[in-house]
Amino acid sequence: MKNSQKIGFLGALLLIVSCSTKKDAFLNRNYNALTTQYNILYNGGVAFNEGLQEINASYEDDFFELLPIEPLTFKNKKFRLPKL
């Protein structure tokens, strides 16, 4: 049992040390680029959801406001209803 704990601790330690941002190896660069990409996507999603909640919280319906209506114009002066 103690031997497996030592091996697990050593493996975790090696994983942490091998993923350093200071090293300039191919695997390290790509790993850091991958985690940076998903970190940006996650933070962007969180910021979007927070902004959406703020907009929804600050929006207030005004049912007495008149909506603008565009006037209808017809090219021909005659307007015909379709026969049913």
| pLDDT band for position 48 (cuts 50, 70, 90) | very high
Is pTM beyond 0.85 here? no
Q: Which residue ranges make up each domain of the chain?
A: 21-58
- Counting Cα atoms < 13 Å in the Cβ hemisphere of 22 gives 3
- What's the pLDDT tens digit per position in 10-26? 888 777 766 666 777 78
Percent of the chain with pLDDT over 70: 87
Residue 18 or 47, more confident = 47
Per the document, the length of the chain is 84
